[in-house]
Amino acid sequence: MEIEDIIQKLWSGVRKKHLYPQLPLPTVIEGGEDVALEIKSKQLAISSAFYEKLKGKMDGEEIVEAVLDHGITHYMYCPWDFHTHITLYNEAKKVVRQKDQAQRATSYFMDVVTDTYCVKEKDTKIATLYKNLPKTGVHEVLAALYEKIWGEDLGTGGHEELVNRLSRIPYLERKRWRESIRKFTEVIQGILEKEVANEQQSSQREPNPMGEHSLENYSLEEIDRGLREFASAVEELQEFKETVEDLKEELEGKGYSAGGMGRGKGNAIDANLLYYMKLAESYTLPIRKLPIEKRGYLHPHAHKPWEIGKPFADIDLWTSFGKIIPGITQIWTKREGETHGEFEGTPDCLIIIDSSGSMINPREKLSYAVLGAICACNAYLKHESRAAVYNFSDALRGNKVVLEFNHDKERIYQAICRYFGGGTALDPDDITYLLSCAKKPDIFIITDMQITNLEKLIDFFKKIENRVTAVHLGTNVHTARFKEGTEKRKNISLFNVKNKEDIPKIVLGKVKEYLTSPSEGR
Amino acid sequence: MKNGYFQTRIRGIYKYISENLYLNRPDISIKDESFNSTLLFGLLTGLNRGKELIIGEPGLGKTTSAEYVGSILYRYPLGVIWGSEVSGHPEQTEEKIIGRPHLGELNKGKEKVVWSNFAQIPVKIVDEINRLPETKQSMILNGVDRGNWEYLNEILINDEYSLFATANYQDRGTNTIIAPLIDRFDILIESRHPGSNIAYTIGKEALSHNPLRHPQYEKELQQILRGENPYEEKMALAEGVCDLFGEYIKETLGIEGLTKEERRTINEERMALDYDVDANAFVRMALAELSFCHKFGQKRSVEVCEDGCHYTGYLCHHIKNCASNRLPMSIRNYAQTLAWFLEDDGVDLEHIRLVIPYVLAHRIQWKDSYLSKKEGEGRNDPFQIYLVKEATEEIFQRYSEQREYLLEAFSVGYRAFAGEAITPLEGDHPIYEEIKKDIGAKDEKSL
Amino acid sequence: MKNPFEAFHQAGARKREIPLDKILKSKEETLSKILAGYEDLLKNEAKDLVWLMQYSTVIKAYSIAEKGMEGLEYTAEDIEEFCFALDHSDQIPYLITGPAGVYISVLCNHAKEEEICLHLQDLNVKINLLGYRLPANKKLIVEGNVGDFTGIGLDGGELIIEGSGKNYTGAGMKRGKIVIRHNLGFNTGHGMTGGELIVGGRIKGLGKIVGGKVYERDQLIFPTDGIKPFYT
């Protein structure tokens, strides 16, 4: 088939031009008349119908090369990865406040960046391709923009005011893409609204002739990594939440769930949970390596020359060749062998987290207390231990979550993220019950210490031998009382956190200490 | 480089081994061809006199892949190779690895060395090298690095050799490979499980006899190696037997090994292949990230990089140690050999990008924080190799973004170094600072 | 010693310039000049980073700003870039909203375009003194919220704020029209002698108005029976 032959002929040259992208040989799809290119999981596919349509106006090889240039540059330059894609979408959404419009704005912006980069940096026929493509709506404006910024005649014009503003955007400065897409979206907002309205009326969508940009382009691993980077980069929890909620359908359709990838449709994605999960992945502890330990017996280690006066028992007759002569005779030096040992059991972990009214609601704002708790859980779960959660507000009135020890990450996160926002009282019986379910688990308690029955808590901690790390925010009479009450207990560490951003690091520091020196009696 | 005569033969060897002896799946691709990494890099090691460390689970063909490659490329019957292998265990001695005094001569009061087969033959295999205690590992450093073997007052120098060492993953009874030794290995490769379907086939079609064995030639070679001739004469005699064995495998198996002369010619051909501009620039960029430290002048494993440094976005922030000078040599050797094998006119970026992860994986010490972030990620490679593949792609992204500017910076660097009064280009990447250092310009960025 | 960059001798980049490069370069140059003018204004007027909002200081700042941008060629988009740079860029060490507002007003008043639209929704800071002395042939549309003293001394132009303002909006305006889509603060229209001030939302409080008209939510609230012109 003609296109396939052309692809075969051009592919190595095009790859070389774009510095050898790790993409398989593009294929051809039948039909797909209005769309030049499809990209699914890094597989480029050129539409034969599109090719046939344009063949009369352009050389066949030029069509294929231009389309490949476009597709490869999306992969190699913009957006490059899923994180960049959703960051751009997030910025566009801040302007238009509507998912559909934001997706289109993102798509058009990425096309402008990609094609401009190609035209400037590579030898490409993209301009000729655009000259021969139909131009309506936004594409007409973009074609006029290309005329101005590329200096090519594309047979269009007009839209001077819009084009003037669009032409001032630094498309090729990656560091300014966030600001640039906002400006871009502002300028084309009116046209986007019209486009969406027209499509709603005609119930037919005008496809982007150069192909759409959807989550189909990315693998689950890329999506997972992109979400992690996005969670670390956003300023507000709400931004992450909004973006994930927008993309929920597509993510679930791809089989991505909060519990992990590759588990089919699974549970619906909870954006809040996903946020803390991804953020916690930036605060991790390495898995404990096998300890080097002594084996307890001596073994021959190396030779050294025998000297008169040294014992005969350790002479190595073979290496001495049967001779007892200084300079020839060698003796063994023995050493206690070292080898990789085995892991001792890692204790389980009980998280006690305060979700009273004085603590931040983790579903509205980033709660470092919740993040710290999740980091601790992750560290223990990674070492194949279990975690339990006691989330309390006014526990005596039932505002509590008592989750027993288990390995289920999603359940644990949900328990930690639960927010009551009521009074502050815990029930020591609940803690006693949980402690009885495991063998001397470590305890992490994160609170602002404004607990109405604090004395009960202090008495409780005085009686237990478990390792306890208490992290509290701010200093008040209650924290002083807690400190005083537990000062003499060597198994209790108390941390007063001034910057709440330090909570995860403090928690992890303590976890690391615990895991490298397991407690006695295990 | 379109002759392709030797390349065709090497491809024939690859095909034969992959279809008959070392059954496995392709796991890498380059220039639209797919290969099994263990076999491909094993061949490249044999061709460029490299040193390869093969890791993997027990029983997945680490040693056998090296034996087959060594046997066919160097035309030594398998029995000789088996007899020359050094196995890693704590009771190994210098006398078993390198050589021993001739006992008869010793009794007469003369010192004469009987060299081990391992020291003599050009195919050197150390099985389970991480079971050797560290003192024993130190003993073989010089030999592994340069092919120089010393015992008593005699020295044996191999004029050509390839070294394959295998190592299981950490378990009871293994040690770490000491840093100087591990740096001397050119590449790290994993010998992987072939998948259940191919594994079944291996079990079903196990050969009753090994086609690379020849008892008669093995005996002759053992006699030559045991003999009292000088090393050079022994090798010349051995080459004669290897020629016969080469004829034998050509007749029976349809594959041709390489004579010493042919191996030398191939080496010359591949050394003539040069880097293109992109490959050159990319390697420099990678080396900059692996050796640069703005605060301390260079990376050192005893100096910790802190948060807050301007360069935290680069690899230098995630690693503890500095890249050694063996790294660019290994990259060059393997990239050239790969380009030669593929009959390309020169070394390009694609060769470099394929080779770097395997060349770097064992040499790099990552920070714990970076390891813990990455270890949960899904992957198809062992963690060490996966990390470097990811890192290579990161560097590649940076390179492709600033390629034009970087090439211009090098061009300006050339002119400045030649004496022209020209200001070096500024840039964020460590490579720009390195260029300035080379031309003697002052670094004005504050610490 | 051998030149380590030998291989790159011929590798000087083939620089392909497209019109976008020229547009961006020209934009940067213009922005630099505008910023330089602003910095001069600060040097002269806000020596200790303190600027007092007084009748005389505003007039003086205006004339210094006018001198500073003599001969400068710029467009409405450049003014918008400057506003963005005020808030986001490291290039401007100090943002003092009073002189900034005067400076922007000068830029708007002397721009070639008769109609200027400034998209300031993304700014974190609310700029004071926008629309100062806007002349008769000018229309200034500001998208976003603004600070104090908006449209003071309006001199015939039309000022539309697609957002809210703060205090002393329209103070001393002589003629022209100010339209505020949402709310205003206290002392609205203080000292205005003519023109129209139309507010779509609520006005917290009027100032001492001499003349002109003020509308709140389509209702004329000055002059009415309840509120008379203020005569000193």
Task: Assign B81 a pLDDT band (cuts: 50, 70, 90).
Answer: very high
Is residue B136 pLDDT above 90, yes or no?
no
* Same domain flag for B91 and B125: yes
Whether B172 sits inside 8 A of A221 (CB atoms) is no
Distance from CA of C117 to the nearest CA of B (A): 35
Question: What residues of chain A lie within 8 A of the CB of C24, using their CB?
Answer: 168, 170
* Same domain flag for B240 and B306: no
Is residue B434 pLDDT above 80, yes or no?
yes
Predicted pLDDT of residue B200: 86
Tens of pLDDT, residue by residue over A17-52, are 999 998 889 999 887 666 888 888 788 999 988 888
Predicted pLDDT of residue A70: 94
Whether C20 sits inside 8 A of A120 (CB atoms) is yes
Task: Tell whether A319 lies on the interface with B, counting CB pairs under 8 A.
Answer: yes
Predicted pLDDT of residue A346: 75
Whether C3 sits inside 8 A of B275 (CB atoms) is no
Measure CB to CB from residue A281 to each of B136, B353, B376 and give the nearest one: B376
Task: Assign B377 a pLDDT band (cuts: 50, 70, 90).
Answer: confident
Tens of pLDDT, residue by residue over B37-57, are 999 999 999 999 999 999 999
Whether C18 sits inside 8 A of A171 (CB atoms) is no
**Domain residue spans of chain A:** 1-218, 221-280, 292-340, 349-516
Measure CB to CB from residue B410 to each of C5, C14, C15 and give the nearest one: C5
* Same domain flag for B247 and B296: no
Distance from CA of A392 to the nearest CA of B (A): 31
* Same domain flag for B61 and B173: yes
Q: What is the mean pLDDT of chain B?
A: 90
* Same domain flag for B353 and B374: yes
Q: What is the mean pLDDT of chain C?
A: 86
Distance from CA of B397 to the nearest CA of A (A): 8
Whether C18 sits inside 8 A of A121 (CB atoms) is no
Tens of pLDDT, residue by residue over C7-55, are 998 776 666 889 999 999 999 999 999 988 888 888 877 665 566 667 7
Task: Assign C228 a pLDDT band (cuts: 50, 70, 90).
Answer: low
Amino acid at the residue B96:
K
Task: Tell whether B171 lies on the interface with A, counting CB pairs under 8 A.
Answer: yes
Whether A116 sits inside 8 A of C18 (CB atoms) is yes
Q: How far apart are CA C128 and CA C99, in angstroms?
A: 8
Q: Are B385 and B188 in contact (CB under 8 A)?
A: yes
Predicted pLDDT of residue B173: 54
Q: How far apart are CA B78 and CA B67, in angstroms?
A: 7
Is residue B96 pLDDT above 70, yes or no?
yes
Task: Assign B75 a pLDDT band (cuts: 50, 70, 90).
Answer: very high
Predicted pLDDT of residue A391: 93
* Same domain flag for B17 and B87: yes
Distance from CA of B300 to the nearest CA of A (A): 22
Q: How far apart are CA B208 and CA B228, in angstroms?
A: 36
Tens of pLDDT, residue by residue over B240-261, are 999 999 999 999 999 999 999 9
Question: What residues of chain C lie within 8 A of the CB of A172, using their CB?
Answer: 20
Count Cα neighbours of A19 within 13 Å in the Cβ-side half-sphere: 27
> Concatenated DSSP letters for C165-206?
--SSTTTT--EEEEEESS-B-SSBTTT--SSEEEESS-BS-B
Is residue C232 pLDDT above 50, yes or no?
no
Task: Tell whether C20 lies on the interface with A, counting CB pairs under 8 A.
Answer: yes
* Same domain flag for B266 and B286: no
Is B444 inside any structural domain?
no
* Same domain flag for B201 and B290: no
Neighbors of chain A with 3 or more C-beta pairs under 8 Å:
B, C
Secondary structure of A367-394 in the HEC alphabet?
A: CHHHHHHHHHHHHHHHCCCCEEEEEECE
Is B402 inside any structural domain?
yes
Tens of pLDDT, residue by residue over B274-328, are 999 999 999 999 999 999 998 888 999 888 777 777 788 899 999 999 999 999 9
Predicted pLDDT of residue A521: 40
Q: How far apart are CA B3 and CA A504, in angstroms?
A: 62
Predicted pLDDT of residue B1: 41
Distance from CA of C124 to the nearest CA of B (A): 27
Domain of residue B116 covers 5-271
Question: What residues of chain C lie within 8 A of the CB of B414, using their CB?
Answer: 3, 5-6, 8-9
Predicted pLDDT of residue A286: 59
* Same domain flag for B192 and B341: no
Tens of pLDDT, residue by residue over B98-108, are 888 888 888 88
* Same domain flag for B313 and B293: yes
Provide the CATH topology of domain A349-516.
Rossmann fold (3.40.50)
Q: What 8-state DSSP symbol labels residue A332?
A: E
Task: Tell whether B375 lies on the interface with C, counting CB pairs under 8 A.
Answer: no
Measure CB to CB from residue C5 to each of B275, B405, B414 and give the nearest one: B414
Tell which wins on pLDDT, A88 or C91.
A88
Q: How far apart are CA B236 and CA B239, in angstroms?
A: 5
Tens of pLDDT, residue by residue over A210-265, are 777 887 788 888 888 888 889 888 888 888 988 988 988 888 887 776 554 434 44
Whether C8 sits inside 8 A of B417 (CB atoms) is no
Whether C8 sits inside 8 A of B281 (CB atoms) is yes
Count Cα neighbours of B320 within 13 Å in the Cβ-side half-sphere: 10
Task: Tell whether C16 lies on the interface with B, counting CB pairs under 8 A.
Answer: no
Is residue B443 pLDDT above 70, yes or no?
no
Please give the average per-residue pLDDT across C207-214, as a whole number. Answer: 91
Is residue B230 pLDDT above 50, yes or no?
yes
Neighbors of chain C with 3 or more C-beta pairs under 8 Å:
A, B
Is B446 inside any structural domain?
no
Domain limit, last residue, from B237, B271, B305: B271
pTM of the model: 0.83
Domain limit, last residue, from B243, B271, B299: B271
Distance from CA of B352 to the nearest CA of A (A): 11
Task: Assign B127 a pLDDT band (cuts: 50, 70, 90).
Answer: very high
Q: Is B141 exposed, middle or buried (0-12, 13-18, 19+ CB in 10 A)?
A: middle
Tens of pLDDT, residue by residue over A158-202, are 888 899 999 999 999 998 999 999 999 999 999 999 888 888 887
Q: How far apart are CA C194 and CA C206, in angstroms?
A: 15
φ, ψ of residue B421 to 5 degrees: the values are -80, 95
Tens of pLDDT, residue by residue over C161-203, are 999 999 999 999 999 999 999 999 999 999 999 999 999 999 9
Tens of pLDDT, residue by residue over A413-434, are 999 999 998 888 888 899 999 9
CATH number, domain containing residue B130:
3.40.50.300
Tens of pLDDT, residue by residue over A160-170, are 889 999 999 99
Is B136 inside any structural domain?
yes
Report which listed range, A305-309, A327-331, B235-239, is most confident: B235-239
Is residue A126 pLDDT above 60, yes or no?
yes
Q: How many domains does chain B have?
A: 2
Predicted pLDDT of residue A261: 40
Predicted pLDDT of residue C23: 93
* Same domain flag for B176 and B284: no
Is residue A266 pLDDT above 60, yes or no?
no
Measure CB to CB from residue B90 to each of A174, A282, A299 and give the nearest one: A299
Contacts (Cβ under 8 Å, ≥6 apart) of A188: A105, A108, A138, A141, A162, A166
Which H/E stretch holds residue B137?
A: helix B134-139
Please give the average per-residue pLDDT across A278-282, as a whole number. Answer: 82
Show the tokens assigned to A300. Answer: 């021959």
Amino acid at the residue C91:
Q
Domain limit, last residue, from B250, B271, B292: B271
| Nearest alpha-carbon partner for A404 in A415, A393, A392 | A415
Distance from CA of C24 to the nearest CA of A (A): 6
| Nearest alpha-carbon partner for B350 in B388, B287, B392 | B392
Q: Are C199 and C214 in contact (CB under 8 A)?
A: yes
Say if residue A311 is preceded by a cis peptide, omega within 30 of 0: no
Whether B401 sits inside 8 A of A318 (CB atoms) is no
> Concatenated DSSP letters for B4-64?
-HHHHHHHHHHHHIIIIIS-----EEETTEEE-HHHHHHHHHHHHT-EEEEE-STTSSHHH
Tens of pLDDT, residue by residue over A302-316, are 777 777 777 778 888
Task: Tell whether A19 lies on the interface with B, counting CB pairs under 8 A.
Answer: yes
Measure CB to CB from residue A150 to each of C18, C27, C122 and give the nearest one: C18
* For C6, nearest residue in chain B (alpha carbons): B414
Task: Assign B355 a pLDDT band (cuts: 50, 70, 90).
Answer: very high
Predicted pLDDT of residue A343: 54
Show the tokens assigned to B83. Answer: 């007899």
* Same domain flag for B258 and B291: no
Task: Assign C213 a pLDDT band (cuts: 50, 70, 90).
Answer: very high
Q: How far apart are CA A397 and CA A412, in angstroms?
A: 22
Tens of pLDDT, residue by residue over C88-108, are 766 666 667 788 889 999 999
Question: What residues of chain A lie within 8 A of the CB of C18, using their CB?
Answer: 116, 119-120, 149-151
